[in-house]
Amino acid sequence: MSKRRDEWSEDPRDMLRAGPDFDLVGMERDATPGWRSGKKAASRFCDERGDLLSELQERLFAEGRAGGTRSLLVVVQGLDTAGKGGVARHVMSKVDPQGVALRSFGPPTDEELKHHFLWRIKKKLPSPGLIGVFDRSHYEDVLIARVDELVRPDVWERRYDEINDFEADLVESGTTVLKFGLMVSHDQQGLRLMKRLDRPDKHWKYSTNDLVTRRKWDDYQDAYADVFRRTSTEAAPWYVIPADHKWYARVAITEILTQTLIDMDPEWPSVRWDPEVQRRELAALMSTEALRASLKDTESQVKKAVKDDRRVREETARARADVADSDPLAEAEAQAREAEAVATAAAAMLDLKRTREQKAELLEERGAG
């Protein structure tokens, strides 16, 4: 049984996804839907998932470098203290920073106000191979713009459809869109704001505008409810996460992000050059001592690659198996993935044998075998 099946009662994507009848008012903000364990187990789970997440992200990045067109956009929304910054610090810290583009959107500048509200968003979309993270986003234009009456109601009203069309176009062009709404309770937000006031090292996080926003709590809840109901689509769903427990929000986002990348199934790009030819040419530029050290290191390096690849393929197979009971095609695909993992590992070990033999031959040619 996979680790995910042990810790989660069911796929968090199914439990946390918003639909047209989503009830934000009745949502328990201190709940931990689907998670069977506690905070410590969540931390361990995130660390363990981090290895797989890192491997998948590197594959996506490599795919983009080789001319692929796919990317992943992660939108994070929530009121102050909901934990948006923690997503970047704790979840995205599991992956290579060069493969992540973090963007934060504040009030629009004078230049941005001259354009359509999506103009500044389009300029910051992730390039192929990257995971883009938006800390706040185009949804500010149907949240704060609505609550603070920055535009007429008919203006923000038509933006829902504009956003849906925009995100559908993104998905069509190769960008997978994930949207997370972190929903903290009124009491918990008050406690977190008070903590910022009590601790001198947290004063920098506090703004007097936080109280202005807090006084409009009900208006913001209504605005968020409409966002979740009207812009959670098949192409770009909203996952609304109870955020009174920051650790739960992090473990839920980690799992949804990992499962999404598993579904994207990025692959290492093929190369147009011959490794054996390049290895021989590189060896000619290495000292005998360095080449001998490389031979010694060959087995551990290849076995690590085999182990990482097999883990990804097996997790992909498990993800397919989760729906296999109701989908015969998914069951067949899961079985094919498991067989593929075995075959790929066998091919890699054969390649390891050839690599070791070639390096040994190169050393013998130098009389240093």
Report residue 31's pLDDT band, with 50, 70 and 90 as the boundaries. Answer: very high
Q: Does the structure show a pLDDT above 50 at 324?
A: no
List the domains of the chain with CATH numbers.
3-264 (3.40.50.300), 275-365 (no CATH)
Tokens 């839920």 identify what position?
252
DSSP string for 126-141: PPTT-EEEEES-GGGG
Contact 156, 145 (CB under 8 A): yes
Contact 130, 71 (CB under 8 A): yes
Mapped onto helix, strand or coil, the DSSP state of residue 240 is strand
- Rounded to whole angstroms, how far apart are CA atoms 239 and 256? 9
- Rounded to whole angstroms, how far apart are CA atoms 3 and 215? 43
- Rounded to whole angstroms, how far apart are CA atoms 316 and 319? 5
pLDDT at 86 (0 to 100): 84
Report residue 147's pLDDT band, with 50, 70 and 90 as the boundaries. Answer: very high
pLDDT at 226 (0 to 100): 97
- Quick: pLDDT tens for 91-107: 888 888 899 999 999 89
Token pair in block for residue 168: 């559908």
CA contacts within 13 A on the Cβ side of 98? 6
